[in-house]
């Protein structure tokens, strides 16, 4: 992801989420040198993700697929890329939060081997208050275990 990608990234956010990230948040992530990636199909950005890596841990902060491209596998491809980047950057664990109501995302993360490790109460805003977040984790040392023994 580059600064010039932000118009498309923010447009995807605003069409995909009721409470999207702002351009300023993405700019801050770029300035902080987080792993910020976009997925292109032909000449259009169809998905984006942001990963923070520090202290031997990673946190998948955002993963969004443009609404008209959901269900095409781009979320899985980008999630796997972010898991790989976390491992390559020396993280032993990767964490994320997901709305319990976002069954598609929850099923994706479950299929990748993430496990629920907790709940963050009232984490996500909703139209009528707040929704809890499921906190998920993936042990990258086991995920990338190259030792067949």
Q: Cα dihedral sign for 32, 35, 20, 127? A: negative
Percent of the chain at pLDDT > 90 equals 92
The average confidence (pLDDT) of the chain is 94
Q: Which of 57, 97, 116, 131 is catalytic?
A: 97
Catalytic residue check, 109: yes
pLDDT in tens, 84-103: 999 999 999 999 999 999 99
**Model confidence band, residue 149 (pLDDT cutoffs 50, 70, 90):** very low
Helix ranges, the chain (H): 6-16, 23-31, 74-88, 103-111, 140-143
What is the pTM (predicted TM-score) of this model?
0.93
Catalytic residue check, 88: no
- For the record, the structure tokens of 134 come out as 């499921």
**Model confidence band, residue 146 (pLDDT cutoffs 50, 70, 90):** low
Q: Which of 13, 35, 74, 109 is catalytic?
A: 109
1, 22, 43, 74, 144 from 77: Cα distances, Å: 16, 24, 18, 5, 17
**Angle CA 101–50–68, to nearest 5:** 55
Q: Which domains does the chain have, with CATH numbers?
A: 3-143 (3.40.630.30)
Integer Cα distance of 53 and 33 in angstroms: 10
- Return the closest-CA partner of residue 136 out of 149, 112, 45: 112
pLDDT in tens, 15-41: 999 899 999 999 999 999 999 999 999
């Amino acid at each position: 992801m580059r600064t010039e990608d932000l118009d498309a990234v923010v447009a995807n956010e605003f069409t995909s989420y009721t409470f999207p990230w702002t351009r300023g948040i993405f700019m801050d992530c770029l300035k902080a040198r987080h792993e910020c990636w976009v997925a292109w199909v032909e000449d259009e950005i169809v998905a984006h993700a942001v990963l923070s890596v520090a202290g031997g841990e990673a946190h998948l902060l955002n993963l969004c697929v443009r609404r008209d491209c959901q269900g095409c596998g781009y979320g899985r491809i980008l999630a796997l890329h972010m898991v790989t980047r976390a491992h390559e950057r020396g993280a032993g664990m990767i964490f994320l939060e997901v709305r319990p109501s976002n069954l598609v995302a929850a099923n994706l993360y479950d299929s990748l081997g993430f496990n629920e490790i907790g709940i963050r109460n009232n984490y996500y805003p909703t139209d009528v208050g707040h929704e809890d977040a499921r906190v998920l984790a993936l042990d990258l040392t086991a995920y990338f275990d190259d030792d067949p023994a």
